[in-house]
Amino acid sequence: MRALVTGCAGFVGSHLTESLLDDGIAVVGIDCFNDNYARPQKLRNLERARDWEDFDFVPVDLARGDLHDLVADCDVIFHLAAEPGVRPSWGQRFATYSRNNVEATQMLLEATLGEPARRFVYASSSSVYGQAETFPTSEDAVPRPLSPYGVTKLAAEHLCLAYCANHGVESVSLRYFSVYGPRQRPDMAFDRFFRAALDGEPIRVYGDGRQTRDFTFVADVVRATRAAAEAPLAVGRVYNIGGGSRVGLLETIELMRGVMERPLAVEHHMRQAGDVRDTAADTTRAFHDLGFRPSTPLAAGLGEQFAWTLADQERARALAE
């Protein structure tokens, strides 16, 4: 079996790539190293995958390249490449989000036409819901994204559904909720919090800290993503992938204090445009169709991320000496 993983050098993509390789599945990894964060970190994310003979890395810009040859050799497509982040998606950068999230998805879907049926798993986001009215939120809730980023992720979902309905592409869309864990992007909250605390700086919180999130550990996300590639009932459907509990941000910071065993200073700033107050995933459909149930408690997952952050900082210091 051979899988195509786009965004293979990213946070979730690198974990998915390693999981597939560990199980004897050959992987064609695609990444264009866009500038949302530093290239060296993305290269570090790929270090273990590059040790496998069954891993082929192809540096391709999905919105520009001819992808037919890459798709033709693969049995399943995991499309995780994207321009991430709610806060940077306003203003002139929206053109980048539209290109990398919508146009690139359409190019990849086009490349699948005329090929034998294969599963196309698309990584969407809870940002498509905006500020939901009911919690936990089911997939039947009407999406009302509050950010340009959310708009582009929802648009790409609709493209997947359109190619499924009209051309038989076996698309599945997964709405990830607040993914965290080792290799988390440097712009994401837990990575920023841990590194600020280690450097003796205050944690910067946007808003009053009482906002809640459904935090989902990366290993649970990988299991759900792989299940979506195989489940017979999944074709043409959308699934929430959440961590199983709705936790306040200040409560999460208390858990981080316990993990780090040190006091943490919190500095509050104005809420940012596009930030929603609360998220919580109803994962009933994912459990029924995919057999998905999150298994990593938040405290345990934070412990794993902190251990990785410590090791990453120690490595950076050693390289600088």
Q: What residues are annotated to the active site?
A: 149
Task: Answer yes or no: are the C-beta atoms of 276 and 158 closer than 8 Å.
Answer: no
Residues 6+ apart with CB under 8 A from 38: 186
End-to-end Cα, the chain, rounded Å: 43
- Cα distance between residue 190 and residue 260, in whole Å: 12
- The tally of CA atoms less than 13 A away on the side-chain side of residue 100 is 24
- Cα distance between residue 149 and residue 13, in whole Å: 19
What is the CB neighbour count within 10 angstroms for residue 306?
A: 20
Residue 258 burial (C-beta neighbours within 10 Å; 0-12, 13-18, 19+) = exposed
- Cα distance between residue 139 and residue 242, in whole Å: 12
- Asked if omega into 232 is within 30° of 0 (cis), the reply is no
CA 6 to each of CA 124, 213, 302: distance values in angstroms, whole numbers, following the listed order = 13, 26, 26
- Cα distance between residue 179 and residue 125, in whole Å: 10
**Residue whose token pair is 């959310």:** 150
**Residue whose token pair is 């550990």:** 217
